[in-house]
A and B are shown apart, each in its own frame.
Chain A
Amino acid sequence: MATSLERVLHQAKNENRAALIGYIPAGFPTVEGCKRAIDVLIDSGFDAVEIGYPYSDPVMDGPIIQEAADQALRNGVKAKDVLATLHHATERGAAAVVMTYWNPIEQFGVDEFAEAIAQAGGSGVITPDLSFEQAQPWNESAARAGINTIYVVAPSTTDERLRKVTGITSGFIYAASLMGVTGTRTSVSHSAQELVARIRQVSDLPVAVGLGVSTPEQAREVATYADGVIIGSALIKELLGKDFDKGLLGLQELALSLAAATKSANREVRGVQ
Chain B
Amino acid sequence: MTATVDTGLFGPYGGRYVPEALIAALDELAQMHQELKNDQSFAAELSHLHKTYSGRPSILTEAHRFADYCGGARILLKREDLNHTGSHKINNVLGQALMTKRMGKKRVIAETGAGQHGVASATAAALLGLECVVYMGEEDTKRQALNVARMRLLGATVVPVTAGSRTLKDAINEAMRDWVTNVETTHYILGTVAGPHPFPVMVRDFHRIIGDEARAQVLELTGALPTAVLACVGGGSNAIGIFYPFIDDKSVRLIGLEAGGDGLETGRHASAISGGRPGVLHGARSYMLQDEDGQTIESHSISAGLDYPGVGPEHAHLYDIGRAEYWSITDKEAMEAFSLLCRTEGIIPAIETAHALAGAIKLGKELGPKATLLINLSGRGDKDVQTAAEYFGMV
Contacts and interface: CB of A to CB of B under 8 A. Distances in A.
Interface stretch (B144-152, B252-260, B290-298): B290-298
Interface in A45-89: 55-62, 66, 70, 73, 78-79
A155 B22 CA distance: 10
A14 interface: no
A103 B20 contact: no
Interface stretch (B74-82, B180-188, B203-211, B299-307): B180-188
Given A102-B280, A157-B24, A58 B173 contact: yes
A158 interface: yes
Contact of A181 (B17, B181, B184, B281): B181
B143 interface: no
Interface residues of A, number: 40
A131 interface: yes
A206 to B, nearest CB: 18
Contacts of A134: 15-17
Interface in A100-157: 102-108, 128-131, 133-134, 151-157
Interface of B, secondary structure class, is: mixed
Contacts of A9: none
User: Interface size class for chain B?
Assistant: 35 or more
A92 interface: no
B393 interface: no
Contacts of B163: 66, 70
A6 to B, nearest CB: 22
B21 A154 contact: yes
Contacts of A179: 21, 180-184
Nearest to A133: B7
A161 interface: yes
A109 to B, nearest CB: 11
A165 interface: yes
A180 interface: yes
B181 A180 contact: yes
Interface of B: 7, 15-25, 163-164, 169-170, 173, 176-177, 180-184, 279-283, 285, 290, 292-296
Given A57-B169, A133-B16, A154-B23, 7 more contacts: A56-B164, A59-B180, A106-B279, A131-B17, A155-B21, A179-B180, A181-B180
23 contacts: A57-B169, A62-B177, A66-B163, A73-B295, A102-B280, A103-B294, A107-B292, A107-B293, A108-B293, A108-B294, A129-B18, A129-B283, A153-B20, A155-B21, A156-B20, A156-B22, A156-B25, A156-B183, A157-B20, A157-B23, A161-B24, A179-B21, A179-B183
